[in-house]
Amino acid sequence: MGYLNKASVTVDAILTKKGRELLSRGRSAFNITQFAVADDEIDYSLFDPAHPLGTEYYGSAIENMPIVEASVDETQNLRYKLVTFGRGQNTIPLLQVAPLSIELSYSTNALGQQITVITTGGTNLDQSLGYTAVLYDREAATLTSNGVAGSATVPTFVGETSSATSQNAIVLTGTQFTLTPKNVSTRTETQLVIIGNETGATKVIPVVILPATTT
């Protein structure tokens, strides 16, 4: 879905096959209950507080950027989703993750590395739905969690440095996670991405799995 003309309330929407099926049944069957918006096309680095014409022009470059049209390609859109917070929330939630980077070896870290996550910027953020953790390479390590009710999908986008696919990624929900290395033959680098299921806050943890030492 995309706004084509910011001067008027115009919305361009592309329905999925299921959406067209429901629409054909009539208005009562076609009932949108959830939707997501994002600002993927906005380059906030163009905000210029040093603009010579003053404060009204700080964001002029951003305001004049072209707006993208609707697309059904989920690898292109909705990476940076917008979220709504309640009244009184005046800070952006951030994830605090420990450790910030992980290097493990099967021979010395067989019990794995526990990963703790909290969301700052509010009270009890992401505690109801927890977090989604995505380990991009299941051949390098195993990932376990304490489990939280909810669905988990593999977010994959064009330009990812890691090959995150449903075949080689491990995706879990929870509030606590443990990463356990496998007995790899060569040094393996991958990523662990943790996403707050309520706030959308995201943290990327670089992961290195070293070959087991031999005697």
Q: Which domains does the chain have, with CATH numbers?
A: 2-63 (no CATH), 94-210 (2.60.40.1080)
Taking only the tens place, the pLDDT of each residue in 67-100 is 777 777 766 777 777 777 777 777 888 999 999 9
Residue 155 clears pLDDT 80, i.e. is over it:
no
CA nearest neighbour of 81 among 93, 66, 91: 93
Angle formed at CA 78 by CA 161 and CA 37, multiple of 5 degrees? 160
Taking only the tens place, the pLDDT of each residue in 30-81 is 888 877 777 877 888 899 999 999 999 999 998 888 777 777 776 677 777 7
Phi, psi of 19 (to 5 degrees): -65, -40
CA distance 133 to 82: 20
Q: How far is CA 35 from CA 153, 159, 162, 166, 171, in A?
A: 17, 25, 28, 24, 23
CA distance 139 to 117: 24
CA nearest neighbour of 53 among 45, 43, 61: 61
Taking only the tens place, the pLDDT of each residue in 175-188 is 899 999 999 999 99
Q: Which residue has the tokens 């799995």?
A: 209
CA distance 210 to 215: 15
CA nearest neighbour of 189 among 156, 161, 155: 161
Q: 210: part of which helix (H) or strand (E)?
A: strand 202-210
91-117 in b/e burial notation, b at 16+ Cβ within 10 A?
A: eebbbebeeeebebbbeebeebbebeb
Taking only the tens place, the pLDDT of each residue in 96-136 is 999 999 999 988 887 899 999 999 988 888 888 889 899 98
CA distance 144 to 111: 12
